Amino acid sequence: MFAELSKGEAMIPVQYRDPQTEEILERRYEEGAPAIGTRVVIGFDEYRVLYRWRCVPTSCIVYVHRVVKEHRQEARPAA
């Protein structure tokens, strides 16, 4: 698999991992490592970047935590 070029800049492989189990949730190419606190979408779920480990110009391992979706109740008209 080759990294795509974007505006003359090479993409780097990023591994998104669960911090408790070390399970690799997803691998993909990004223009750069996501910042700590950034929200990323993996599959159909949203995650927040907790920390990055071994980020070098050629690859990065990112630990993420699933963001709990808020369920909003519809506003009810006053009786």
Residue-wise pLDDT for 6-57, tens only, equals 455 679 999 999 999 999 999 999 998 899 999 999 999 999 999 998 888 7
Instruction: Return d(Cα 15, Cα 59) in angstroms, integer.
Output: 8
Q: How many CA atoms lie within 13 A of 9 on its CB side?
A: 9
For residue 35, give the amino acid letter. A
What element of type H or E holds 53? Answer: strand 45-56
What element of type H or E holds 29? Answer: strand 24-30
pTM of the model: 0.72
